[in-house]
Amino acid sequence: MKFILILFAFALAAWYLSYSATRLDRLHHRVETSWANLDGLLQRRAAIAIEIARSEISDPASAMLLTFAAHQAREASVRDRSQAETGLSGALGILLETSSHISGEIEKDLIRELRELTEKIKMAVAMHVDAVTRTQLVRKKWINRIFRLAGTAPEPVTYEFEGDVL
C-alpha cells in the first residue's frame, strides 16, 4: 500500500514537472512570436520613416532627425530597442501633428500607411508586453526556479513603450 502511494506521488510529481516545463516552453515561444511580429512591424515603420524623410513632406531639418532616429532604431540592440523606438515615435509624432496640410498622392499614401501601421504596432506592443510579463511571472514560481525548468532560455526583456507617443 505504502509502495503504491509513493509511486503515485512520484508519478504525480513527474507529471507536474513535465506540465510546468511545457507551460514555460509555450510561454517562451509566445514571447518569441509576439516579438517577431512586433519587430517586423517596427522594421516596416523605420523603412517608412526613411521614405518620408526623403519625400516632399520633410524639410531638411526634420529629414535629418527622422533618418537619424530611424537608423538608430534599426541598429539598436534588443535592450536599447525600446528607447530608440520611442525616439523614432517622437520624431514621427511631430510630423503627424502637422500632416493635415500635406498635398501630393504619394505623400498622403505614406502618411496613411504610417497611421495604419501605428494602430497595428499598438496592438502588437500590447500582445508582446502581456506575453513578457506572464512569462516573467511564471519563471519566478519556485518550482520553475528550483528545477531550472526554463533551461537556457533567456529572460525576456521588458519592453517599455510610451503609449501616448505611438
Partner 1 sequence: MPLSKKRIGIVCPYGWDTPGGVQSHVRDLAEYLIDEGHYVSVLAPAIDDENLPSYVTSAGRPISIPYNGAVARVLFGPIAFSRVRHWISQGNFDVLHLHEPAIPSISLLACWAAEGPLVGTFHAAAKRQKVSFAVIPFLEPVIEKLNARIAVSEAARETLTEHLDTDAIVVPNGIYASLYRDGKLDERWTGNTIGFIGRFEEPRKGLSVLIDALPAIITEIPDIKVFVAGPGDSEDALKEIQPALRSRFTFMGRISEEEKANFLASVGLYIAPNTGGESFGIILAEALAAGASVVASDIPAFDSLLGHGEYGTLFESENPQDLAVKVVALLKDSVARKEIAQRGKNYAQAFDWDVVADKIYDVYQMAMVGGNGVTLSSENRAWNKLLGRQG
Footprint of partner 1 (CB under 8 A): 18-19, 22-23, 26-27, 30, 32-34, 36-37, 40, 119-120, 123-124, 126-127, 129-131, 134, 138
Per residue, the 3-state secondary structure of 33-76, as one string, reads: HHHHHHHHHHHHHHHHHHHHHHCCCCCHHHHHHHHHHHHHHHHC
CB of 46 to partner 1, least distance (A): 18
Q: Whose Cβ is closer to partner 1: residue 89's or residue 135's?
A: 135
CB of 158 to partner 1, least distance (A): 14
CB of 63 to partner 1, least distance (A): 30
Q: Whose Cβ is closer to partner 1: residue 56's or residue 160's?
A: 160
